[in-house]
């Protein structure tokens, strides 16, 4: 029996929340807040340095939330912040201690993600990403049409 569009949407939302909980539990396991975990994740992925604006965009959370987490990381000696070339936002870089912590936390999660994605065939990976991208573009358009 085919599921209705509403049932499929409910299933998708359930799975999305389930995935968020997987990452939340991972952050908690490492003793990190979700915001700190994701900052470490994106800095690790970027090779250790990103602009403050890029971190905010990648995290999709309010700038204030990101900045609070950045201040904590800086006071803990895990990142340093410096003027960027544009001078409109700061560059955020992992310190040596931050690199070690990012490898121990985000690096292990990224490795698990890679192993997980690798269990899908190349065709499944492409299809998964193609459909998710298409869904997000259409959803963004539809929500933008709401008055």
pLDDT on residue 75: 97
Task: Find all residues with CB under 8 Å of 67, minimum gap 6, and list them.
Answer: 52
What is the pTM assigned to this prediction?
0.88
Question: What is the b/e burial string over 6-22, where b = at least 16 CB atoms within 10 angstroms of the residue's CB?
Answer: eeeeeeeeeeeeeeeee
Q: Which domains does the chain have, with CATH numbers?
A: 5-118 (1.10.10.10)
pLDDT on residue 1: 76
Task: Find all residues with CB under 8 Å of 128, minimum gap 6, and list them.
Answer: 120
pLDDT band at 84 (very low <50, low <70, confident <90, very high): confident
CA distance 93 to 47: 9
pLDDT at 48 over 80: yes
Task: Find all residues with CB under 8 Å of 139, minimum gap 6, and list them.
Answer: none
**99-139 pLDDT, tens per residue?**
999 999 999 999 999 999 999 999 999 999 999 999 999 99
pLDDT on residue 77: 97
């Amino acid at each position: 029996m085919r599921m209705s569009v509403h049932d499929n949407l409910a299933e998708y939302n359930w799975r999305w929340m389930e995935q968020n909980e997987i990452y939340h539990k991972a952050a908690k396991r490492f003793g990190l807040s979700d915001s700190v975990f994701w900052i470490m994740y994106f800095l690790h992925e970027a090779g250790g340095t990103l602009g403050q604006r890029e971190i905010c965009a990648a995290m999709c959370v309010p700038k204030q939330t990101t900045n609070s987490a950045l201040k904590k990381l800086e006071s803990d000696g895990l990142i340093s912040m410096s003027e960027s070339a544009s001078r409109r936002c700061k560059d955020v870089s992992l310190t040596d201690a931050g690199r070690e912590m990012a490898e121990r936390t985000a690096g292990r999660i990224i490795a698990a993600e890679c192993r997980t994605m690798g269990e899908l065939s190349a065709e499944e990976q492409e299809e998964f990403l193609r459909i998710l991208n298409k869904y997000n573009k259409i959803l963004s358009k539809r929500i933008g049409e709401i008055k």
